[in-house]
A and B are shown apart, each in its own frame.
Chain A
Amino acid sequence: MKNPSVDTHLLPADSGTIGTEPLLAVDNLHVEFTTRQGVVRAVNGVSYALNAGETLAVLGESGSGKSVTAQAIMGILDMPPARVPKGEIRFRGTDLLKLSENQRSQIRGQQIAMIFQDALSALNPVFTVGWQIAEMFRVHKGMSKKDSYTKAIELMDRVRIPAARQRVNDYPHQFSGGMRQRIMIAMSIALDPDLLIADEPTTALDVTVQAQIMELLAELQRDSNMGLILITHDLGVVADVADKIAVMYGGRIVENAPVHDIYRNPAHPYTKGLLESIPRVDMKGQELYAIKGLPPNLLDMPTGCAFHPRCPFRQDNCVTDVPALHAISGTRSSACHYWREVLDGTAG
C-alpha cells in the first residue's frame, strides 16, 4: 500500500470517505513490548482496511497480536512498556498515531468505541450501570445529569435490557453475563461511533447468549452503518456476521479474504488447520483434526515463516524466508510460499 498524504487535523464526523480512503486503514503496524525477559514483538507489520458499514473479523489465537492491534487503534496500550516503532493507523485519512493524547481522547468513545471480553471486570464495580452509560453524555456532550440518565435508559432499552428504567441504578455485579455485555455495548454505541471494535465480545458467555449478542451487534451495525471489527479466536462465531476475515499468526496477518472464500477454500495452512479443527455434523464419527505443536513463543520466534514448525506444507525455504503477503486475487492474499498447493489441497 502506498501512503497517501496524511491529514493532521481532525475531520468532521460526517465527512465520510475521501476518494478511495477507507474508514480505517492499518498500514504496516508494528508494536513491541519491553519486558524483563527482552523485547516482545507482538505485532509485526499488520495491514488491514475497513469501510463504513463493513464487518471485519480478525481471527487468531492468544498471542497472535490481534488484541494488541486493536488496542493500538484505540490508543489504550500502556506506553511504556508498549511501543509503536513503525506503521500508520489512518482513521478517515488521519494518522491516529500522529495525534496528541488529547486529540485521541476526543476520538475515543465518540468516533471509535470498543467492547471488551469480560464485561464484569471491564465495568467499574462501584458505579451504577446508569452512571457509567450516562457518563458518556455528561463528559462528551455536557448534558445534565437528568438528561444523560434518560439517554442511558433509552440505550439500555435499545440493547434490549428488560426493565431498563428500574435497573438503571443497579450495579454491574447484579446483572447476568449477557446483560452486562449488553451494557458494555450500550455504552460503546452511546455516541454513535463510526467504528466499533469488539474484542472477543462473546468469549466469556454461554453459547446461546453468544448468538444473541452477535445478533445484536449485527443489527446495531446495520442500523447505524458503522464499521465493525470483531476480534475472535472462534471462526464459528463470526461466520454469519463478518464480510471479510483477517487471520493473524505470530503478530502477522497470514491470510486476508472475504468470508466465503476462506470457508470454501483457505489459502494458508494455518487457516486450513483452523477450519478442519471445527467440529462438523457431516463428519460425525471421524477424529477431530488438531493443529500440531504449540503457538510460537513471542520472545523466541521461529525463523522464516512463524508457522513452519507446525506446518504440514513445510519446505526448506520456509525455515529461512519470511513469506510476504502475496495477493492471490483482487480481494484475497496469503502469506504462504506455497499458497497454490494449499488451495489445491496437495501435500499436507
Chain B
Amino acid sequence: MSDTLTEQKPVKPPKQKRPASLWSDALYDLRRSKVFIIAAVLIAILVVMSIIPGLFSPVNAFDSSTCDLTIARQGVSSAHWFGTDNLGCDTYSRVIYGARISIMVGVFSTLATTLIGGLLGLLAGFYGRWTDTVLSRLAEVFFAVPSTLGALLILAVVGRDNAGIWTVVLALSVLAWPMVLRIMRAAVMSSKSQDYVVAARALGAGPGRIMQRHILPNAVAPVIVVATMNMGVFIAAEAALSFLGVGIQSPDISWGLMIADARNRFLQAPEALLFPALFLSITVLAFVMLGDAVRDAFDPKLR
C-alpha cells in the first residue's frame, strides 16, 4: 500500500484550528471528553469528602458516643440514611468518613510508586548498559510477586499493632513500582533515539539538560496514564487488605474494614455492607474512568 491515507497523516486540516503539541492536544481532548468530566466531578466530590467530611455528614463518625447499641443493624431510615451497623453506629456518616483513607492510600501509593519507578526507569532507560540490566532485573524480581499477595505478606509480618495507613501505602508501593519503571524505561528509550535528542547530544547538551528538556516531557505522558489507572487499583487493594484484617485497623474507618465488619450478618442486614461497597466501587470507577480518558487523550493511536 504505497499511497493509502496513512501517509497523508501529518496533513492538518486547513480550517479547523487545533493546538499542536501533545500536551495541549491532550488537554483539548480531555476537556471535551464526557468520561473525563464525569470522573473529574466524582473525584472532586470524593476529595472534598475526604478533607472536610463534616460538610457531608453532621454526625462525627469518629465520636463513638454517637453510636447506640439499642439501634444496631437497622435498615434505611430518615434518621439513618444508610442504616446502622453492628454497634449501632450511623453507616452513612461512617461511609463519608471512610473516603479519607481510600483517597489517601490511592494518592500516596501512586505518588510513591510513580516517584520510585519513574526515577529508576529514567535512569535505566537513559543510561542503559549495566544500570539498565541491574534495575530491570531488580524490577523483574519485584514484578514476579503479585502485589496484593505480597502486601498481604508484608502486612501480616509487620503485625496488626503496627498496621495503619502508612504501612499499607508502603506495602503496596514496595511491590508496585516496577510497572512504572517499565513504562518509563520504554518511553525514555524510544525518545532517546529520536533524531532531535541525538541532535541535541551532538550539539553538546549535557545529560541533565537532555533529560529535562527533551526526554522527560515525552516520557511523562505514558507515566501519567499508568499512574492514574493505578490509583483505582491501589484503592481496591487497600479495601481488600483491610477486609482481610491486615490493613487499616479499627477505630480508623475504611470501607474494606466496614465490609469485613458487616460480613457475618450480610444476608440479614445487607445495608451495612452494600453502602461502603457502593462507595468503594464508585471511587474505583471514577479513577478507572479518569485513567481511560487520560489514556485516550495522550495516546491518539488507540482512538
A–B direct contact (CB < 8 Å): yes
Report A-chain residues with C-beta under 8 Å of the C-beta of B14: 299-300
Stretch at the interface among A61-69, A163-171, A174-182, A316-324: A61-69
Most A CB contacts (10 A, CB to CB) among B2, B5, B13, B16 go to B2
How many residues of A sit at the interface, in one of the four size bands?
20 to 34
Q: Verify if A48 is at the interface (C-beta below 8 Å from B).
A: no
- Which residues of B, 1-49, contact A by the 8 Å Cβ criterion? 1-5, 7-8, 11-14, 16
Distance of A71 from chain B, by nearest CB (Å): 8
Q: Which residues of B contact A35 (CB under 8 A)?
A: 5
Which residues of the partner chain B approach A199 to less than 8 Å between Cβ atoms?
Answer: 1-2
Chain A interface mostly: loop
User: Of A37, A63, A297, A300, which one neighbours B3 at CB under 8 angstroms?
Assistant: A63
A203 and B2 contact, CB distance less than 8 A: yes
Q: Is the Cβ of A117 less than 8 Å from the Cβ of B5? A: no
The residues of A that contact B4 with a CB separation of less than 8 Å are: 67-68
CB neighbours (8 Å) of B8 from chain A are 40, 63, 297-299
A42 to B8, CA, bound (A): 11
- Asked if A131 is an interface residue, CB under 8 A from chain B, the answer is no
**Which residues of A have CB within 8 Å of B13?**
37-38, 299
- Which A42-75 residues have a C-beta within 8 angstroms of B? 42, 60-68
Residues of the A chain whose Cβ atoms lie less than 8 Å from the Cβ of B2: 62, 66-67, 117, 199-200, 203, 231, 233
Residues of chain B contacted by A42 (CB below 8 angstroms) = 3, 5
Q: Which B residues lie within 8 Å of A67 (CB)? A: 1-4
CB-CB < 8 A to A61: which residues of B?
3
CA A333 – CA B12 in complex, angstroms? 34
| B125 CB to nearest A CB, Å | 29
Q: Does A338 contact B (CB under 8 A)?
A: no
Q: How far is the CA of A131 from the CA of B273 in the complex (A)?
A: 58
Q: Is A33 an interface residue (CB 8 A)?
A: yes
Bound-complex Cα distance A65 to B1 (A): 11
State how many angstroms separate the Cβ of B124 from the closest Cβ of chain A.
30
Contacts of B1 in A (CB 8 A): 67, 116-117, 199
B7 touches which of A38, A62, A117 (Cβ 8 Å): A62
A67, B12: Cα distance in complex, Å: 23
Residue of B1, B3, B13 with most chain A CB atoms under a 10 A cut-off:
B3
For B240-282 the 0/1 string (1 means CB < 8 A from A) is 0000000000000000000000000000000000000000000
With both chains docked as a complex, state the minimum distance between the C-beta of B89 and any C-beta of chain A, in angstroms: 54
Contact partner, B5, options A33, A66, A116, A200, Cβ 8 Å: A33
- Contact check, B5 vs A40: say whether CB atoms are below 8 A apart: yes
Beyond A42-B3, A67-B2, 13 additional pairs, beta carbon < 8 A: A35-B5, A37-B12, A37-B13, A37-B16, A61-B3, A63-B7, A63-B8, A67-B1, A68-B4, A199-B2, A297-B8, A298-B8, A300-B14
29 of the cross-chain contacts (CB-CB < 8 Å) are A35-B5, A37-B11, A37-B12, A37-B13, A37-B16, A42-B3, A60-B3, A61-B3, A62-B2, A62-B3, A63-B3, A63-B7, A63-B8, A67-B1, A67-B2, A67-B3, A67-B4, A68-B3, A199-B2, A203-B2, A231-B2, A233-B2, A297-B8, A298-B5, A298-B8, A299-B11, A299-B13, A300-B11, A300-B14
